[in-house]
A and B are shown apart, each in its own frame.
Chain A
Amino acid sequence: MNVIGKSVKRVDALAKVTGQALYPGDRNYGNELWLKILFAGRPHARIVRIDTSRAESLSGVVGVLTAKDVPVNQHGLQVPDQPVLCGPGSNKRGGDIVRFVGDQVAIVIAETEKIAAKARDLIRVEYEDLPVVYTLDYAISHKAPQLHPNVPKNIAAYQRIRKGDADEAMERCNVVIEGVYHTPFQEHAYLQPEAGTAYMDDEGRITVHCAGQWTWEDQQQIAEALDLPTDKVRVIYDAIGGAFGGREDISIQIALALAVLRMYQQHGNRRPMKIIWNREESILGHCKRHPMTINAKWGVKSDGTLMAAIIEIFADAGAYMFTSNKVLGNAVVTCTGPYDFPDVKIDGYAVYTNNLVSGAFRGFGAPQAQFVAEMQMNKLAEKLGKDPVELRLKNVVTEDKTLAVGTTIPGGVSMEQVIREAAWRSNWRSRLGPRGENDPDFPEELPRLVNGRGFAAGFKNIGFSFGYQEESWAEVELRGQTEIEEVVLRIAGADVGQGHHTVMSQIAAEVLGIEVEKVKLEASDTATTQSSGSASASRLTLMAGNAVKEAAEFALRKWRRNDRPATAEATWLAPKTTPFDPQTGYCVPNFVYGYVAESVELTVDTETGLITVNRVVCADDVGRAVNPDQIVGQIEGAIAQAHGYAVLENFLMYKGRVLTPSLSTYLIPGVYDVPKRIDPIIVENPTPHGPFGARGMGEMPFIPYTPALAAAVFDAIGIWFDEFPLTPERILRGLGKVRSRLV
Chain B
Amino acid sequence: MLINFTLNHKSVTIDAPPDITLLTLLRDYLGLTGTKEGCAIGECGACAVMLDGRLVNSCLTLAPQVSGRELVTIEGISQPDGRPNDLQENFIEYGAVQCGYCIPGMVLAGEALLKRNPNPTRQQIRRAISGNLCRCTGYQQIVDAIEATAKDRTAHAKS
Contact = CB atoms under 8 A, between A and B. Distances in A.
Given A633-B136, A678-B138, A663 B107 contact: no
Nearest to B41: A662
Contacts of B139: 640, 670-671, 674
B104 interface: yes
Given A19-B75, A672-B130, A663 B97 contact: no
A23 B92 CA distance: 19
A192 interface: yes
A25 B92 contact: no
A633 B95 contact: yes
A191 B141 contact: no
Interface size classification for chain A: 35 or more
Contacts of B100: 12-13, 15-17, 21, 239, 241, 497
A18 interface: yes
A698 B69 CA distance: 44
A557 interface: no
A342 interface: no
A188 B135 CA distance: 8
A607 B121 CA distance: 29
Interface string A634-676: 0011011100000000000000000000111000101110110
Contacts of A20: 34
A191 B92 contact: no
A671 B103 contact: no
A497 B138 contact: no
A671 B129 contact: yes
A191 B84 contact: no
A499 B98 contact: yes
B38 A193 contact: yes
Interface in A478-505: 496-499
A242 B100 CA distance: 8
A390 interface: no
Nearest to B131: A670
A20 B107 CA distance: 14
A192 to B, nearest CB: 4
B99 A496 contact: yes
B130 A633 contact: no
Given A637-B136, A668-B135, A18 B34 contact: yes
Contact of A189 (B31, B36, B135): B135
Nearest to A631: B95
B92 A19 contact: no
For the complex, would chain A's binding face be called helix, strand, loop or mixed by DSSP majority? Answer: loop
A9 B93 contact: yes
A18 B39 contact: no
Given A17-B84, A191-B44, A663-B43, A28 B98 contact: no
A14 B92 contact: yes
Contact of A632 (B89, B95, B99, B142): B95
B89 to A, nearest CB: 8
B57 to A, nearest CB: 12
Contacts of A242: 98-99, 101, 135-136
Contacts of A14: 84, 92
Contacts of A662: 39, 41, 43
Most buried by A among B32, B132, B139: B139
Interface string A168-201: 0000000000000000000011111100000000
27 contacts: A7-B95, A10-B92, A14-B84, A14-B92, A17-B103, A18-B74, A18-B77, A18-B82, A22-B33, A28-B31, A190-B101, A190-B135, A191-B38, A191-B133, A239-B100, A242-B136, A279-B40, A279-B44, A632-B95, A633-B98, A633-B136, A633-B137, A663-B38, A664-B41, A670-B139, A672-B126, A674-B138
Interface of A: 7, 9-10, 12-23, 25-26, 28, 188-193, 239-244, 276, 278-279, 496-499, 629-630, 632-633, 636-637, 639-641, 662-664, 668, 670-672, 674-675, 678
